[in-house]
Structure 1
């Protein structure tokens, strides 16, 4: 892993995400960090300027000044790592795939912005769209994430369906960077202990995938899958939750209703979304 993209809107919540990103940069062997701000000089869907007194150039210069201040705050943690500043007059997440391809980004880190920003990020469509559009892992840092504790445990969630979509190479980059216990967790409804042939095949494949890592496997019953994941993670003092979302089902359930509120407001647990591998 080489290039880390930190998205920021200059809020304190976004700075917390940047601090967290800086902490994980060294273990992940990051050698380049991009501090990135997407501003808009035109209101989306119209030809109206955001502010009559601010030109596009003014917004750009203002953004670069704020990025430079953020750079100064992160430099002590990012010693020896190249830091680049980028501000563009665009709208994310539509442009995120092009940006990552052009800049050869390996990981995106994003936080939350302002009091209403959480709803826009986690309860609206922005996060799910970012995850769907991005071809690289996306690390979402809740507003109350505790900085300085490091990563001491992980939960990798699975629905025991198509194991071939697990991006093993990207998963191993994180497991190698943080040689810590991994809880491989399946949360399902009902109390039936029998598994389909597909689920049994996935379980066997998961044991193979994690055979060289300190992994434990847990299968629990819970009516609400996401609540079950978060409850388990909180009980086990998990540092990070890893998901490989599908375009429907688990992805949509994770970013709907009060579950996302619980993740964003009540949990200190960052969420790492790995892009699913192409179906062969």
Structure 2
């Protein structure tokens, strides 16, 4: 592995470890660390410890899964294969199914103007906007519909399904989103038209000069219009303007990775996500 790639992967590893620590406590099990969220919000996962001197063992994985069940958490593990290659076989031997997702980093000179990718404008969410609470709820609804209808093919689910998926958010969730956007740790966007409303959404999480773009989703009825690419490019431009020099993401499949290639991303490795077999489609 070349020196530049090794440095990038090391920076990503530190980012992966830092992000959940902002809203979770940690419990260590051998070479693994389990992040347990304090309060409401999306549950975290277990991943390799930064300071581990040996790869995670089957006993480590088994102990974490038992603790996750005890706490009512998803039995989820995440890691970068190039950093912890032995964990793939261990996870599979534990009966987990592993999604091997293309891990991609942005080549800034290849980042296009979002307006060249789609005719649908993309808007950055602002906590000072009176409609911020509704925007956050809609962003989550678009993501829920998009990810429940995976892939890149067009489908029937559209604005009606999005509206049905909108749910009222608690004050703590909204305050967390507002605070993280205001201090630069998060960026959220919506691609929308006046007639149909939000058709695609996405977000980014930032720690220092490293950021991950995640949750990019389009309503199936609005796919094949460049929306995912435009959302991703908008987030990348916002992150670059904020001084972020390493921007990365994980593609859910090779087909989805091709969308990100259009936006200037290139593959650098493999992000592994392991869960019980029935949970990964």
Q: Same fold (TM over 0.5)?
A: no
**Higher-RCO chain (CA-CA 8 Å, sequence separation at least 6):** 2
If the length of structure 1 is used for normalisation, what is the TM-score?
Answer: 0.34
Larger fraction in strand: 2
